[in-house]
Structure 1
Amino acid sequence: MNNLLEDFNQSLHKGFIDRTISHKGNFMPKLLINNKEENVLSTIINELYKCKSFTISVAFITESGLASLKSHLYDLNQKGIKGKIITSNYLGFNTPKMYKELLKFNNVDVRLTDVNGFHAKGYVFEHEHYASMIVGSSNLTSNALKVNYEHNILLSTQKNGDLVYNVKAQFDELWEKSSPLSNAWIKEYELTYDERNLKNAIRITQEQNEIQNNIDQAVKIEPNIMQKEALHSLAELRKSGKDKSLIISATGTGKTILCALDVRSYNPNKFLFIVHNEEILRKAIEEFKKVLPFSKDEDFGLLTGKNKAIHSKYLFATIQTLSKDDIYSQFDQNHFDYIVYDEAHRSAAKSYQKVFNYFTPNFVLGMTATPERTDNLNIFEMFDYNFAYEIRLQKALESEILCPFHYFGVTDYVRDGKATDDFSSLTDLTSNERVKHILEKTQYYGYSGDELKGLIFVSRKDEAKDLAEKLTLHQVPSRALTGEDNSEKRQEAIEQLKSGEINYIITVNLFNEGIDIAPVNQIVMLRETESSIIFIQQLGRGLRKSDNKEYVTVIDFIGNYEKNYLIPVALSGDQSQNKDNYRRFLTSNTVLSGVSTINFEEIAKKKIYDSLKQAKLSAASHIKQAYNEVEQRIGRMPLLMDFIRQNSIDPSVIYSSESNYKNYHEFLVKSKKIEDQLTENEKLNLTFLSREIAPGLKNVDHTILNTIIERPHKIQELLTLAQKVDPKVTLKDIETTLKILDYSFYSVTINKTYGEPIITISNDEVTLTKTFAASLENLLFKTYVEDIIQLAQYNNTTHHGNQNRLILYNKYTRKDFVKLLNWDKDESSTIYGYKSKHNTLPIFITYHKQDDISDNTKYEDEFLSPDELKWFTRSDKTLNSKEVIEIMAHKEKNIDMYIFVKKEDSADGKEYYFLGKAHYLEGTAEQTIMPNEKKNNVVTMTLSMEKPVQDEIYRYIIEE
C-alpha cells in the first residue's frame, strides 16, 4: 500500500506540477478529446476492459451510444463483472426504446433519478487497488463519445482518496433515492413521450408545409460535395474529348442522383438508362423526376416486358428486353445522345455487349459499386479506362453520405460446448438451438427505430426457407426469397418488409446489389465471408439513410472459417495484405469516422486472429490476383505506384522477405508478364532500391538519389537542397544516406545481395557509379528506378510525415532505427533485445513469446500500465554489471532510451511499434533469476514512458 501511495504522489506531481519529471505510477490525469487519433469511447472501453466493477451517471443516453458498448458489456457479463447506471428523463431527451435497451444488460442495474435538472456526466471504474473516473462533458451518446468537441478528464485515485470517496458517496446517496428501471415505468413514460412528440411533430410539419408551399415551384436538387467532385471530373473528361467514363460509387452514395445531375447538365435530346432489374429501373425514374422537376411525366418511359414507351425522351430499359434483336434494332445506332449502364460490372455479359456494341451515343456512362469481377471480362476496357470518380465505403462514411452503422462480430452457435462451423446439413443450420442463438443475438444487439426491418444472408436456399418458417413460429415474421422468385414476388416481399408485415427477408445472394430498401435497420450475416466484395455489398444494403433509423445494426455470426481474415480486410478497406494492420483494426475505435463503430465479441475476435495466423497474405496467388485487378483497371502493365493509386496491395508485399520475389521485375518475369531484359547487377540493384529506398523511411534518401541521377553534386549542395524539402535535415542525415547509397553503411559482403553501389564519392563530390549510370540507359530499368523513387516519396509523405525521424506508433525494424538515428554502420543484427551506442538505447520487445523459444531468452517483459513497463535485461547480468549500471544512469549520461514493442512474431515479422522514449525509475532495479529456469541472473527494472501508450494500441499489444 505504501508503494501505491508513492505511485499516486508521483503521478499527481507529474500531472499537476511538473510534466517533465519521470514518474512512478500509472495514475496520471489525462485530458480526453475526440479526434482522428483518439476518442472518449476508446478510454471508456479501456477502463471497462480492466475494471472489476463500474458505475455510470449520465443524463442523456442514445440507442447508438449504448450500441457502441454492447459487445464490451456482453464480454464483461461473461467474466462476471457488473455495473450500475443512473439516468433520468430530464427534458424528455431519452427515448422509451433506449430504456428498453438498458434492460437487456444482465450485468447492469439501472435506476432513474427524479432530481430536478439532473445533468450529470460521470463514469467511475473500480479496480483492484484503486479507482478511476471520467468526468466532463460527455453523455452516453455516439456523438459525445466519438465526434463532438468534448473536454473530459480521466483521474485515478486510491480507494480511500477523498475525491473518489465523495463521488461514490454522492452516487450511492442518489442510487438509494432512485427507482429501479422497469417495463411498467417505460410503458407509462411512453404515453407522455409520444404525446409530447406528436405535438412537436404536428408543429414541425405545419412549419415545413408553409416553407414547402413557398418553394415548390423552385425545387432543384443540388449535389453533395462528393457528387460535385464527380460532376466536375465528368465535365473535364468530356472537354478532353472522352466519350466514355466509369463512376465507382459505394452502395447508398447516390450514384443514380449523380447520374441524373449530369444528365441535367448535359441536356440530351434522347437519353437511355439500362439496368438488369425492373425494381431498380422504377426507382431510377423516381430519382430522375426529382432532379428534373420541370420535365413532363410523358418524357419518362419504360422499356420492359410489359412496357414499350420507345419514343420517350428519357427511356429506362431492362437489358433483358432491350437486348432482344427485334427491340434494339428499332432504334438508329445514334438515336441516343447519352446512355447509362447502371450496375456496370454486369455490362461485360453477352446481352449487354450486344447493346453496347450496337449504339453509338455521344457519351456513355457506367456506374457500379463493385467493378471487380471474378471472371476474365474487363469492364474498365469497355469504358476506355476513364475513371471520373471513385467513392469507396470509408470515404462515403467520412463525408456523412451514408447512414452510420454499428458492426458486431459475434460468435456463431456453440454446440456441445464447442464452437462449430460444421453445419453440413440443413438440420444443423436451422436447428432449434441455433435459431434460439440467432434470436438471442439479434434481439440483444437490436436495431435503430421503432420496428425491425432486417435482411438475413444465409448460405443455402433451403436454409433460407426453413429459417424463415422457424423465425415466424417464434413471432418474428419472416420470408425467404431466392433466385427462383420472380420480380413480382420480390417486390411483394420488399413492400411487406417496408410496411411491417414481416420483420426479415432471408436470402442467399439475391440482394447483394441493386435493391434499394432504405428502411432496412438490421443486417444479419449467417454465412462464411468468402469475398470482401460481397461482404461490403451485403453490408451496404442497410446504409441508405431513412427517416425510420439513426444507424444500422450489422450482426455477423463468425464461425471457425478459413477466410475470416477477409472481415477486417472488407471493413477497413485496407488492401495492403498486412496482417498486423488487420489485427490492430479489430481493437480500434478510431478507424471509422463519425459515430460508426466496429465491435467484436472476444471469442469471435480470436477466431479472426486464428484465421490471420494461418493465412498466407504474401502468397504468389494473392500478388497475382492483385496484379490482374490493377492491370484490368488501367489497361497496361502496372508499376508499383499503380498499386497505390488503385487502392490495391501494399507494393512492399511483392518483394517482402515472405514472398517469392526479391523485386518487382522478378515477379513480372516469373509470372511471365515480360521477358527478362535486365543484367544480373541491375536486378540486384532493384532489390536494393526496393528494400532500402522504397519504404520511404527518410525523405533525404529519395531526394538525394533523384538529385544525383540528374547530375553530380557536392555534399554541401545536397544538404542545401535537402533542407529546402525539410529544414530539419542535418549533415549527419546526409552522410547516412550517402553511406547507404555507396554501401559503406553495410557489411563488406553486401554486394552479393545488392550488386554494385549506386554512387561514388570523390573530393567531396557525389556522382553515380559508372555501372548504375550505364544501367539507366536501359529504358525498362530507368522506369523501375523512377517508379521506386515515386513510391519512396509517397511512403515518406504518407507514413513518415515527410520527416527523417521516429514517428510515434509507426512500425520499424532494428535496421530502420539504426538508419534514422544515424549510426555509423548497420549494427542492427547485433542489437538483439537492446544495445547502447551513440547516446541511444533502443529496446526491442516481443510481448507474447512463442512457446518454442529457449528458457534463457523467454523474458517476461510486461506493461504494468500504459505508463510503466517492467523490463528484463539480458540473462547473466547483475546489479553490478557495467551494462546495467550504464542503463540505470542513462539520464545522467544523456543516453536516450527508445521503446519498441511487437505483439508477437507471427503477426509482426521484423517490425515493432515505436511507443516513445522511456526512463529508468529510481530504486526499481532488482536482481533475480530468469523466470523459467533456476540459473542465470537477470536484472528487472521499471521503465516510465514519457507519454502513456495510446489506449487502443496498448490494449492491442497486451491482449492474448
Structure 2
Amino acid sequence: MQLRSYQQEAHDSIFEEWNKGVQKTLLVLPTGCGKTIVFAEVAKDCVKIGDRVLIMAHRGELLEQASDKIAKSTGLKCAMEKAKETCIGSWFRIVVGSVQTLQRTKRLEQFPKDYFDTIIIDEAHHCLSDGYQRVLEYFDSAKVLGVTATPDRGDMRNLGSFFESLAYQYTLPKAIKEGYLTPIKALTLPLKMDLSGVGVQSGDFKVSDIGTALDPYLEQIAKEMKKYCKDRKTVVFLPLVKTSQKFRDILNSNGFKATEVNGDSKDRAEILKDFENDKYNVLCNSMLLTEGWDCPSVDCIIVLRPTKVRSLYSQMVGRGTRLCEGKDHLLLLDFLWHTERHELCHPANLICENDEVAKQMTKNLEDKASASLPEDVLEAIDIEDAEKEAQSDVIAQREESLAKQLAEMRKRKRKLVDPLQFEMSIMDQDLQSYTPSFGWEMAPASEKQIKALEKYGIYPDSVDNAGKATLLLDRLHKRQEEGLATPKQIRLLENKGFKQVGTWSFESARKLINRIAASGWRVPNGIDPATYKEGD
C-alpha cells in the first residue's frame, strides 16, 4: 500500500525515535487519517527485522479492525490474544491482544518477559490505566509506540509522564487544508441548557446527572434540529440509553427517520447497516460509537453529552470528518450550555491550540447565538474562519493589555525587554501559543537559560518554564545568526512609533538608532515612524 506523504513521514519519524534510543514514543493523527494503516506498516517493518509485535487495545472492535487492516495492507496474518484464544505456539509474528485479557497475572506469566520486541497501543490515551501499565511493566524491554487521535494538551501532558517523545503529530486543520478530511462548520444554537446542578466523577460530568438535566430540553432540541438537520445524515451522542431511546421517539414524532443503538442492542450490526444505507437519517447512541465505527456519509454531529475531556469530544466529532462523495462539509451543532464551575469542550477545542483563542472563538459563536431571535435560521461558520476571527480579537486584546504593561514598564525603567513584547513584535505564533507537554518542559528555566536570556536582553522572570526558555533562546540564536534586530533595538524603535521592527536587520536598526541618538533621542526631521520602511 502506498502511504500518503504525512503517513510516510509519521512511519519514518517513529523509527528515527527508536533508532536514537527512545524506547517509548507517541504518534498523534486525527480520526480518519489512517492511524491503523501507519501502525500496520510499522508492524510489518518490525517483523522484517525479526521482531515479535503486540498490538494492544481495550475493545474487541479495535482488535478486529487492526487485524483486518494489517492483513489487507501488508498481507500479514495476526494471532489473537483474547479470552480463550492465545498466540502461544502461533507462527504469526504479529499478535493483537486485549488488555483486559493480558493484564491478568496468570495470563501474563505464561509469556517470557522478552517475548515481545515491540508493543503498539491503539487509542493510547487509555494507556495510563492500571491494566495497560501492568502489561507494559511486564514486557519492560519492548519498544513502545502509542497511537492516538486526541488533540488534548491535558492528555498530552499526562501521556508525557509515560512516553519519552512525540514522534509525529498531524493536526486536524492541516488534514482539512490538505484535503484528507472534510471541512467543519460549527453552529451554536440559542438554546440555553443548565448544567449547574450536574456533578463530576473521574474528571468529567456524571452521565446520570446529565441525563436528568438534559431531559426537559429534548423537545426543543428536536425543533431546532428541524431547521438544520432535516436533509442531513446525523449522529447524536447522548449520556444514557434511556435518554437516547426517548430522544429517538421524540425525533420520529417530529418527522425524522431516527433509530437508536446501544451496547445491549442484539441487532446492532443490522441497525448500523440500515443507517449507512439511508433507511434512517438520524442515529442516536449513548456513547457507543466513539471508537471503532466509521460511516463516511455522516454529515452532521450533535453532542448532547457535554464533556470536559477533549479526547472524548474529538472522537465524537471524528465520526463525521471522513470524506465522502457529495459531502462538502460536516455540520457540528453546539448549544449554550450553562455551567458555573467547569470548562466544557466546544468546536473551538478541535482547532485552537491556544486556550485564549479557543475561549474567544467560543464566546464569539455564543454571542451570535444569544443575539438571534427564536425564529431566526442561523448560518454555520467554518471553524477555520472562526478561529482566524478569534485570533484577531485576541491579538487586539493582547495589544491593549501590552500597552498597559509597557506603560508600567516605562515607569519602572526596566532595562530588559518583556518576552511577551518580543513575541508580539516578531509575530511568532509558535512562541505565543506554546504550552509544555513533557516533564522536562514544565520544569523552571535553568540558571544557564536565565543568564542567556538576560544576555540577549530578555527579562527572564516572565518566562514560565524550561520549554518556553528553550524555544525562546532558539529563536534569539537564529535571529542573531540571520543578523536580525535585537530585542532592545526592537523595543526602542517601537517606543518611538516605528512599525514591524521585528523583521528588520540588526544593521538597519543600528543605523536608525544612531541617527535618533544624534538628534538628541528624538526622531529626526523628515521621518514619519508610522510609514517608515526599513532602509529609508
Offset of 1:247 from its aligned partner? 0.8
Aligned to 2:354: 575
Partners in 2 of 1:604 and 1:397 — Cα distance? 11
**Residues 698 and 802 of structure 1 are in contact (CA less than 8 Å); yes or no, is this contact kept in structure 2?**
no
Quick one: which amino acid aligns to residue 396 of structure 1?
A: A
Instruction: Map Cα deviations across residues 730-785 of structure 1 (whole Å, 9 max, x no partner).
Output: xxxxxxxxxxxxxxxxxxxxxxxxxxxx99xxxxxxxx89xx89x99xxx999997
**Residues 408 and 600 of structure 1 are in contact (CA less than 8 Å); yes or no, is this contact kept in structure 2?**
no
Partners in 2 of 1:696 and 1:400 — Cα distance? 33
Structure 1 position 393 matched with structure 2 position 175:
no
Structure 1 position 238 matched with structure 2 position 15:
no
TM-score, normalised to structure 2, is 0.66
Offset of 1:511 from its aligned partner? 3.3
Partners in 2 of 1:781 and 1:472 — Cα distance? 54
Identify which of 334, 342, 348 aligns with 2:128.
Answer: 348
Partners in 2 of 1:508 and 1:405 — Cα distance? 25
Offset of 1:324 from its aligned partner? 1.8
Aligned to 2:474: 790
1:130-169 paired onto structure 2 within 5 Å: none
Structure 1 position 511 matched with structure 2 position 289:
yes
Partners in 1 of 2:257 and 2:81 — Cα distance? 35
Relative contact order, CA 8 A, sep 6+: which one is greater? Answer: 2
Aligned to 1:325: 105
Change (3 A) 1:421 1:658: farther
Aligned to 2:224: 437
User: Secondary structure of the residue that 2:229 maps to in structure 1?
Assistant: helix
Structure 1 position 498 matched with structure 2 position 276:
yes
Offset of 1:364 from its aligned partner? 1.8
1:530-569 paired onto structure 2 within 5 Å: 530=308, 532-546=310-324, 549-559=326-336, 561=338, 567=346, 569=348
TM-score, normalised to structure 1, is 0.39
Structure 1 position 270 matched with structure 2 position 49:
no
Identify which of 178, 185, 189 aligns with 1:407.
Answer: 185
Aligned to 1:818: 498
Offset of 1:390 from its aligned partner? 0.8
User: Secondary structure of the residue that 2:147 maps to in structure 1?
Assistant: strand
Change (3 A) 1:289 1:534: same
**Residues 521 and 553 of structure 1 are in contact (CA less than 8 Å); yes or no, is this contact kept in structure 2?**
yes
Quick one: which amino acid aligns to residue 218 of structure 2?
A: T
Partners in 2 of 1:550 and 1:302 — Cα distance? 37
Quick one: which amino acid aligns to residue 243 of structure 1?
A: Q
Offset of 1:354 from its aligned partner? 0.9
Partners in 1 of 2:524 and 2:360 — Cα distance? 30
Offset of 1:345 from its aligned partner? 1.0
Offset of 1:356 from its aligned partner? 0.8
Instruction: Map Cα deviations across residues 179-205 of structure 1 (whole Å, 9 max, x no partner).
Output: xxxxxxxxxxxxxxxxxxxxxxxxxxx
User: Secondary structure of the residue that 2:55 maps to in structure 1?
Assistant: strand
Offset of 1:275 from its aligned partner? 0.5
**Residues 306 and 344 of structure 2 are in contact (CA less than 8 Å); yes or no, is this contact kept in structure 1?**
no
**Residues 293 and 319 of structure 2 are in contact (CA less than 8 Å); yes or no, is this contact kept in structure 1?**
yes
Partners in 2 of 1:549 and 1:603 — Cα distance? 19
How many percent identity over aligned positions?
20
Aligned to 1:956: none
User: Secondary structure of the residue that 2:95 maps to in structure 1?
Assistant: strand
**Residues 528 and 559 of structure 1 are in contact (CA less than 8 Å); yes or no, is this contact kept in structure 2?**
no
**Residues 301 and 315 of structure 1 are in contact (CA less than 8 Å); yes or no, is this contact kept in structure 2?**
yes
1:183-222 paired onto structure 2 within 5 Å: 221-222=1-2
Change (3 A) 1:310 1:470: farther
Aligned to 1:247: 27
Change (3 A) 1:568 1:309: closer
Offset of 1:837 from its aligned partner? 7.8
Structure 1 position 455 matched with structure 2 position 235:
yes
Aligned to 1:695: 424
Aligned to 2:41: 261
User: Secondary structure of the residue that 1:339 maps to in structure 2?
Assistant: strand
Offset of 1:241 from its aligned partner? 3.0
Unaligned runs of 5+ in 1: 1-220, 414-419, 587-598, 619-651, 664-680, 700-757, 760-767, 805-812, 827-834, 843-895, 899-960
Offset of 1:395 from its aligned partner? 1.7
**Residues 520 and 541 of structure 1 are in contact (CA less than 8 Å); yes or no, is this contact kept in structure 2?**
yes
User: Secondary structure of the residue that 2:168 maps to in structure 1?
Assistant: strand
Tell me the matched-pair count: 438
User: Secondary structure of the residue that 1:430 maps to in structure 2?
Assistant: helix
Aligned to 2:66: 284
**Residues 151 and 350 of structure 2 are in contact (CA less than 8 Å); yes or no, is this contact kept in structure 1?**
no
Quick one: which amino acid aligns to residue 336 of structure 2?
A: G
Partners in 1 of 2:312 and 2:465 — Cα distance? 39
Change (3 A) 1:540 1:300: same
**Residues 429 and 463 of structure 1 are in contact (CA less than 8 Å); yes or no, is this contact kept in structure 2?**
no
Identify which of 193, 199, 205 aligns with 1:421.
Answer: 193
Instruction: Map Cα deviations across residues 488-525 of structure 1 (whole Å, 9 max, x no partner).
Output: 66555433433444433323544334433444333223
Offset of 1:604 from its aligned partner? 13
Quick check: which one's helix share is greater?
Answer: 2
Partners in 2 of 1:348 and 1:782 — Cα distance? 25
Quick one: which amino acid aligns to residue 498 of structure 2?
A: V
**Residues 558 and 604 of structure 1 are in contact (CA less than 8 Å); yes or no, is this contact kept in structure 2?**
no
Offset of 1:336 from its aligned partner? 1.9
**Residues 13 and 168 of structure 2 are in contact (CA less than 8 Å); yes or no, is this contact kept in structure 1?**
yes
Identify which of 252, 258, 261 aligns with 1:478.
Answer: 258
Partners in 2 of 1:781 and 1:315 — Cα distance? 41
Change (3 A) 1:559 1:816: farther
Offset of 1:347 from its aligned partner? 0.7
User: Secondary structure of the residue that 1:245 maps to in structure 2?
Assistant: strand
Identify which of 229, 232, 250 aligns with 2:9.
Answer: 229
**Residues 410 and 558 of structure 1 are in contact (CA less than 8 Å); yes or no, is this contact kept in structure 2?**
yes
**Residues 520 and 552 of structure 1 are in contact (CA less than 8 Å); yes or no, is this contact kept in structure 2?**
no
1:769-808 paired onto structure 2 within 5 Å: 788-791=472-475
